[in-house]
Amino acid sequence: MKTNGTVVFQSDFGLVDGAVAAMYGVAHAVSPDLKLYDLTHEIPQFDIWEASYRLIQTVEYWAPGTVFVSVVDPGVGTDRKSVAVLTKTGHYIVTPDNGTLTHVAQTLGIAERHEIEEAENRLKDSQHSYTFHGRDIYAYTGARLAAGLINLAGIGKKLLSDDSFVHPYTPAIITGGVIEASVDILDARYGSLWTNCPRDLFSEIGVKYGEYVGVRITHHGRIVYGNDLKYGKSFSDVNVGATLVYINSLLNVGVAINQGNFAKAHDVGAGREWLIRFEQTVGPWSIR
């Protein structure tokens, strides 16, 4: 897959200082013709899981050949690898191999994976800088890859494509009409739960739009929420302030309060310890 001259940056640097602008400067100096965009720079500090999720929220909407540079790097200076990968969807990701590729490996698949040879692929005169690989290694290498000045082979030695460092991840399963899934992430600003249960799996429990689904959320064995919720096409299928189950924009099952914040209302977080169960139910507030 040829790169297409576009770099999309993600980090946990925030936008309040010059860190992101320094990465942009490096990329622009590699080639002023590159198109430079942001995924987000507001990943919570050191939150590799969220960085991993934001990639699958966006990567596939960009044209194949786009290069993503993701820098959430609590281990800068350790022996964590720096890699450039090509996904099976034709997108490139340049990142520390520290779990950032967890969801990408799981849902898009990794076709090719190379370790960045840092001695060569490093901003000129940056050899005494040990704390900002985002600028010195990742932005520089991602930009050279996007500009076609280098290819994966030139970046460094080929590694096993399936051997990325990933966090444990349990896909949703269905057993006897009951789906066991997890809350993969929160839809940050709106507080909706985004689960890892795909629409196709959900359809197997046979609930139709307008009908009710039994929802139970647990955290380390404790029941945090249990209720029967309407399954709607969109938020407007319930009243403002009412709760619903819906299919989110990534075609996974979500749980939300229309114009409210479900996560805040019920103190629910995200990650594989936040389990969520769906099953058919005869109606709202049924005894179970």
Q: Give the helix ranges, DSSP H, for the chain.
A: 19-30, 48-58, 102-103, 133, 140-146, 152-155, 199-202, 262-266
231 within 8 A of 212, measured Cβ to Cβ: yes
Please return the burial class of 215, using the count of CB atoms within 10 Å of its CB with bins 0-12, 13-18 and 19+. Answer: buried
CA atoms within 13 A on the CB side of 67: 29
| 103 is an interface residue for its own copies by CB under 8 A | no
140-179: contacts with its own copies (CB under 8 A):
none
Among 1, 237, 242, 272, binds its own copies (CB under 8 A): 237
| 135 is an interface residue for its own copies by CB under 8 A | yes
CA separation for the pair 236, 214 (Å, rounded): 20
Interacting residues of 235 by C-beta distance below 8 A, sequence separation 6+: 244, 246, 256, 258, 259
Kindly state the smallest distance separating residue 74's Cβ from its own copies, in Å. Answer: 6
* Both structure tokens of 63: 């044209």
| Closest CB to its own copies among residues 117, 237 | 237
Binding segment (CB under 8 A) for its own copies, from list 101-109, 143-151, 223-231, 243-251? 243-251
Kindly state the smallest distance separating residue 222's Cβ from its own copies, in Å. Answer: 27
CA separation for the pair 94, 4 (Å, rounded): 15
Among 97, 180, 184, 187, binds its own copies (CB under 8 A): 187
| Closest CB to its own copies among residues 16, 160 | 16
* Both structure tokens of 72: 């959430």
CA separation for the pair 4, 116 (Å, rounded): 20
Among 136, 184, 228, 279, binds its own copies (CB under 8 A): 136
8 within 8 A of 66, measured Cβ to Cβ: yes
Interacting residues of 196 by C-beta distance below 8 A, sequence separation 6+: 171, 172, 181, 182, 184, 252
| 104 is an interface residue for its own copies by CB under 8 A | no
16 to 45: interface string for its own copies, x by CB under 8 A: xxxxxxx-xxx-xx--x--xxxxxxxx--x
Kindly state the smallest distance separating residue 158's Cβ from its own copies, in Å. Answer: 27
Binding segment (CB under 8 A) for its own copies, from list 55-63, 99-107, 221-229, 265-273? 55-63
57 to 96: interface string for its own copies, x by CB under 8 A: xxxxxxx--x-------xxxxx------------------
- The neighbour count for residue 66, using CB atoms within 10 Å, is 23
Nearest one of 27, 104, 100, 19 to 58, comparing CA atoms: 104
Among 199, 226, 284, 286, binds its own copies (CB under 8 A): 199
Kindly state the smallest distance separating residue 235's Cβ from its own copies, in Å. Answer: 6
| 264 is an interface residue for its own copies by CB under 8 A | no
| 247 is an interface residue for its own copies by CB under 8 A | yes
Kindly state the smallest distance separating residue 259's Cβ from its own copies, in Å. Answer: 6
Residues in contact with its own copies by the rule CB under 8 A: 4-6, 8, 12-22, 24-26, 28-29, 32, 35-42, 45-46, 54, 57-63, 66, 74-78, 128-132, 135-136, 187-190, 199, 232-237, 246-249, 251, 254, 259
